[in-house]
Structure 1
């Protein structure tokens, strides 16, 4: 497996975890709005970057 694909997978998983965390905290109405915005934005960046790395990396045998 390619290093870029592994890194993309890790970024995608971290992004999903961050987005789920942000959603849970928003539903429970806890936490500071600025902190949630920063965590949500970083998680979204991680998620989109990871998906992009996995999608655009070609498998070479």
Structure 2
């Protein structure tokens, strides 16, 4: 994923935690994390983006 690629971020509060999904619309790859709702939105988003980049890089290496 390049620096100028758009990513869809979704936050959903589920009981005692928040689920954060990051979707790359070009590849349609989606990853999710769960976290504490008291954690900052920026921190949760950064973690989800880091996981998305990891998955995209791993897929690229396996091609």
TM-score, normalised relative to structure 2: 0.43
Greater strand content: 2
Q: RCO greater where, 1 or 2, for CA within 8 Å and sep 6 or more? A: 1
Greater helix content: 1
